[in-house]
Structure 1
Amino acid sequence: MEQGAAFLDAGANSLQITRFTYLLRREFGVGLPIRTVFDAGSLGAVADLVSAARRGDPGSGPRPPEAGPRRTERRPDPLPLSPGQARLWHLNQLDPGPAYHVPLLIPVDGPVDPDGLRAALSALVERHESLRTIFPVLNGEPVQHVLAPGDCPLALRTQRVEPDGIDVAVREAVAEPFDLTRQAPLRAWLLRGRSDLAGSVLVLVVHHIACDGWSVGPLARDLAAAYRAVLAGRAEAPREAPAQYADFTVWQDRAFGAGADSAGPAADQLAFWEKTLADLPAELPGLYDRPRTPGARMGGGSGSVGAFWPAALHRELVALARGNGATLFMVLQAGVAAVLAESAAATDLPLGTVTAGRSDPRWEEAIGFFVNSLTLRTDTSGDPSFAGLLDRVRSTVLAAFEHQDVPFERVVERLNPPRSLGRNPLFQTVVVLQNIPWPTVDLGVRPAHVIVPHNGAVKFDLLLEFWERRDPAGELFGLTCDAEYDPRLYDRGTVVGVLGRLRRFLTAAAGDPGLSLSRLLAASFATPTAHPARTERNPAP
């Protein structure tokens, strides 16, 4: 299968192709289906499709929601929360613990100017409304209230710490609860060594209601730019204000809220998910070492295991993906589905993944909770070859991306599955390949990567988060996987075994993707690898 080969050979992934289709819609007024663009394989072929669409032959596929303005001229008052924000707000009211706190650690090499950092943080909060938004209750419902910059002073707490005391100080900072009804969702600490030359760590803790993984990039860039300007004794050069999260909320509500067109894109997308996820298994209990405790809530302590797969396997899996017109994520998702389906003695496996929620590039520089969840229903029945399973997964992933705009919470409302505070609805196992641009921040002598330590709370039964490593020349250098699991359900040895078996299964599949799943799974029992070495969380891409 050669579809999408030119884009894939150039290193494109599903997110980039999705964003490309949104650019086509914005620039040429045509809404090509993502799968059509993915299968086109070259810019020339896409140009032909655009020309045909402009002549009135748009092809088939779901209608994307209408584009909104870069800035909403008039916002509703009161301003509602997005569906994702509303879910996080209610979870915060039930338990204000650190489950949805996002800690960001920025090492600063050399002297640091605390007053300069305070001024830079103030500029950051002024630029991004989401960092100065509170969520009070009005008439029994939470609303967004964007504070004026002067009404949202950000304190930078400083303290001296020994090198072996940094972890404790970070844990204490992460554990401090947010009262989202009256407190801005950002806090800052400067942990300093025994001398200015010993290095410092800037610790930012943001509540997830105001920040997601993609947000770390614009946050880091804007903070560094403001700090450099302060140190240089000048005002930062004026830049166009980014789109604000509140404007995204208004757009999303218009496209997918209660007042959305019943015959519009929202209805189309919801109908797709209703059909695709009909009669979905509530959970697959055969996966677990222990049954779920009745009444238990998500958000307790998590376990973690890390693995590193070498560059040779990394290259083989990328080649396997390209040879089958797929992406690396599709290969990983197919492998996880095969291994877990056998463990669960099931052939209908719901796996979750997350998207950046920024398909439209207008939101690229905004900070906020844009991330959306998708349910990928994988069918492993009939003992297909790995290539056959990958073809199924490819279709599933592309169809899901075609319908990714509708908020996950709206899908849950429509399907109305059995609910439990101790179980994520629709899926409990998540597979993610992180391909967001990961930033460095220049606050000291040398640029440093932003580090995101785990906040210690579990959000899913099992999360497999993969990262691609590249060497300084940009060549493939290996894959890392951070596996987080609920220790109330899984033993550590079980998760270690899953990672080891997944590696052996995919190694065999790369060698001969025409083999059946049963033969590949049998091969994955042979020659077990040693326990995977613990790896550093979210390494630089």
Structure 2
Amino acid sequence: EHHEHTAIPALEKRAHYPLSSVQKRLYIQHQMEGAELSYNMSGLMILIGELDRDRFEAALRGLIGRHEILRTAFEMVDGEPAQVIYPEVDFALEYWQADEEKARELAEGFVRVFELDRPPLLRVGLIGLERNRHILMFDIHHLVSDGVSTGILIDDLLRMYTGENLQPLRIQYKDFAAWQQSEAQSERLKKQEAYWLDVLDGELPQLELPTDFARPPVRSYEGDVLDFAIEGRQSEALQQIADANGATLYMVMLAAYTVLLHKYSGQEDIIVGTPVSGRTHADTEPLIGMFVNTLAIRNYPSGDKMFLTYLEEIKETMLGAYENQDYPFEELVEKVQAARNLSRHPIFDSVFVMETREDRISRFGELTVEPYIEARTVAKFDLTLEVTHEEEGMSGHFEYATKLFTRNMIDNFAEDFLTILSKICEQPHVLLKDLALNGSPEQEEDLLEAIDIVF
């Protein structure tokens, strides 16, 4: 949704520039103990075909020349972090030749801590497995990139590798960061602020899921992932529920997820975080940078509501949130968070993400691209559910904090989530309290009550 019609102005050259709201938060979080690697965005893919290494490295240098954010350092200026843009930076493509086993070792060691004052906050590596088979490794700091940026980065790189001349960019990320904090924007954001302060009025609920281990005093970023699949027939049925109720599949899945959290926590006031691309201004479309904003979605899943009634509420909530999606989450935290709790994330501990799998790259010029599966060990939140909409159905995965949950517990979550989905497909009018699950504590309470009655 593009609200803006006035162009973002290009700034005159300066020694340093302000950080955007989200960069300020990431900069602070990067300094926290244990968080050093949790904002590295890394990816691996296998390239099949003849790769011209010199041309590839030249394209990477061209990419760094094109996007100032890839030549940006984060330095303290008068006690505040600032962006400093270098005209040139040292960059070399890292290269090894190795067999599959050694390659796995190299890939595991490739993601390393970035020094924020030494650009580029990007490293790229190639492992030659055979003459026409390479593993391409990317590691980039979230301060200078996001999910959409990764697509732009690969696209620009491919076009440069194949010799295309790209139109120069009219503005750069630093222009967006300054514009975001301009007076005209402040006026607009004041109205959005009022919306969010109303949504998050009163005491904010803390999600209390049953955990296998006591919560550590300082939040840990150690994590793991559990994958599961939602079959095509069920995906279609869920899409039909969305269509019949003027909602989106995202809204149906968020409703189901918050019902799961309600069943496990017994709570009827639950806040879940959800990311939005943050690119509501058309001028930001070709830029690499960190634009993502996070919305705090407050839900009220109580047992006596019908699922469809609850879905209608979520629809209204999401429409309001989208209309006010430019208000930076960081500023919201400062306004509403009473006490900072180092063992939790501000405002919410659980996140829901839904993506469409159109963006998987399968060709790079003459080369074929295949995914390279690697283990992930970072969890930024207690629990994140990520659902990907694919041609033949949906795939889901839970990213979870291993200092709180065992894999067995997350297995229960996944099973029960699938149970909720199949029950709402069969009976969309079901009352939330009548959705019976296998592993949730609510069932045990019902059982205990039944035992009390017997004796």
Report the TM-score, using the length of structure 2 for normalisation: 0.91
Q: How many residues align?
A: 438
- Out of 124, 148, 159, which is 1:225 matched to? 159
Aligned to 1:298: 220
Q: 2:138 matched to which residue of 1?
A: 204
350, 359, 380: which one aligns with 1:459? 380
Instruction: Give the letter for the 1:254 counterpart.
Output: S
- After superposition, residues 54-69 of structure 1 pair within 5 angstroms as 67-69=6-8
- What is the identity, as a one-letter code, of the residue corresponding to 2:318? V
Q: 1:62-81 to 2 correspondence within 5 Å?
A: 67-69=6-8, 71-74=9-12, 78-81=16-19
Q: What one-letter code is carried by the residue in structure 2 that aligns with 1:305?
A: L
3-state SS of the aligned residue for 2:61? Answer: helix
How far did residue 128 of structure 1 move?
Answer: 1.1
Following superposition, the deviation at residue 77 of structure 1 comes to 5.3
How many angstroms apart in 1 are the aligned matches of 2:194 and 2:285?
Answer: 28
Residue 162 of structure 2: SS of its match in structure 1? helix
Distance in 2 separating the partners of 1:273 and 1:252: 18
Q: Distance in 2 between matches of 1:451 and 1:91?
A: 29
- Judging changes above 3 Å, is the alpha-carbon distance between structure 1 residues 237 and 443 closer, same or farther for their aligned structure 2 residues? same
Q: Name the CA shift for 1:437/1:133 in 2 (closer, same or farther; >3 Å).
A: farther
Q: How far 1:409 sits from its partner (Å)? A: 0.1
Task: Please give the per-residue CA displacement for 1:187-238, whole angstroms capped at 9, x wherever unaligned.
Answer: 1111111x313x0012111001111011111111110111111xxxxxx324
Query: Which residue of structure 2 aligns with residue 135 of structure 1?
Result: 74
Q: Could you tell me how far 1:480 is from its partner in structure 2?
A: 0.5
Tell me the residue number matched to 1:152: 89
Query: Where in structure 2 are the equivalents of 1:241-390 lying within 5 Å?
Result: 241=169, 243-254=171-182, 261=186, 264-294=187-217, 296-299=218-221, 301-381=222-302, 383-390=304-311
Aligned-partner residue type, residue 389 of structure 2: E
| Structure 2 contact 144–288 (Cα < 8 Å) conserved | yes
* Distance of aligned partners of 1:312 and 1:242 in 2 relative to their CA distance in 1, 3 Å threshold: farther
Deviation, structure 1 residue 437: 4.9
> In the alignment, is the contact (CA less than 8 A) between 1:217 and 1:439 conserved in 2?
no
CA distance in 2, matches of 1:427, 1:451: 32
Contact 2:357 2:388 in 1 (8 A): no
Residue 444 and residue 167 in structure 1: after superposition, are their counterparts in 2 closer, same or farther (change >3 A)?
Answer: farther
SS in 1 for 2:228: strand
Deviation at residue 76 of structure 1 after TM alignment: 6.3
Report the equivalent of 2:446: none
Aligned equivalents of 1:77 and 1:134: distance in 2?
12
Once the two structures are superposed, what CA deviation does each residue of 1:465-490 show, in whole Å capped at 9, x if it has no partner? 010111xxxxxx11101111011111
Deviations 1:242-291 (A, max 9, x none): 642111101111158xxx65xx2221111111111123435222443333
For the aligned residue pairs, the C-alpha RMSD in angstroms reads 2.1
- By how many angstroms is 1:122 displaced? 0.4
The answer to whether the aligner puts 1:124 opposite 2:63 as a matched pair is yes
Contact 2:356 2:390 in 1 (8 A): no
Report the residue type matching 1:222 in the other structure: D
Whether the aligned pair in 2 keeps the contact of 1:509 and 1:515 (CA below 8 Å) is yes
Amino acid across the alignment from 1:359: T
SS in 2 for 1:337: helix
Note if contact 2:73-2:116 (Cα within 8 Å) is conserved in structure 1: yes
Post-superposition shift, 1:308?
0.7
For 1:87, give the aligned amino acid.
Answer: R
Say if 2:219 and 2:343, in contact at 8 Å, map to a contact too: yes
Q: Is the 8 A contact 1:103 1:455 kept in 2?
A: no
CA offsets, 1:37-60, max 9 Å, x none?
A: xxxxxxxxxxxxxxxxxxxxxxxx
Q: What amino acid is the match of 2:413?
A: V
Residue identity matched to 2:157: L
Match status 1:431 vs 2:352: yes
Q: Mind listing any 5+ residue stretches in structure 1 that lack a counterpart?
A: 1-17, 27-66, 230-235, 471-476, 527-541
| Over 6 Å off, 4+ runs | none
1:166 alignment partner in structure 2: 103
| 1:168-205 deviation line (CA, Å, top 9, x unaligned) | 2122111x211001232111111111x313x0012111
Q: Offset of 1:417 from its aligned partner?
A: 3.3
Q: Report the alpha carbon displacement of residue 147 of structure 1 after superposing the two structures with TM.
A: 1.2
Distance 2:298 2:105 in 1: 41
Cα gap change, 1:465/1:242 in structure 2, threshold over 3 Å: closer, same or farther?
farther
Question: Is the counterpart of residue 191 in structure 1 residue 127 in structure 2?
Answer: yes
1:74 is displaced (CA, Å) by 3.1
CA–CA distance in 1 between the matches of 2:291 and 2:371? 20
Alpha-carbon shift at residue 114 of structure 1 (Å): 1.7
* SS of 1:223 mapped into structure 2: helix
SS in 1 for 2:31: helix
Gaps of 5+ in 2: 440-455
8 Å contact kept, 2:146–2:289 = yes
Separation of aligned partners in 1, 2:357 and 2:340: 31
Aligned to 1:484, the other structure's residue is in SS state strand
Alignment partner for residue 107 of structure 1, among 29, 33, 46?
46
Amino acid at match of 1:314: S
Of the candidates 58, 72, 91, which is equivalent to residue 29 of structure 2?
91
1:421 aligns with 2:342: yes
Cα pair distance change 1:221/1:452, threshold 3 Å: farther
Change in Cα spacing, 1:289 to 1:217, as seen in structure 2 (3 Å) is same
Contact preservation (8 Å) 1:217, 1:437: no
Distance in 2 between the 1:119 and 1:442 partners? Answer: 19
2:140 partner letter: V
CA distance in 2, matches of 1:124, 1:437: 23
Identity %: 29
Measured at CA, do residues 192 and 417 of structure 1 come closer, stay the same or move farther in structure 2, by a change above 3 Å?
Answer: farther
CA contact (8 A) 2:16 2:85 kept: no
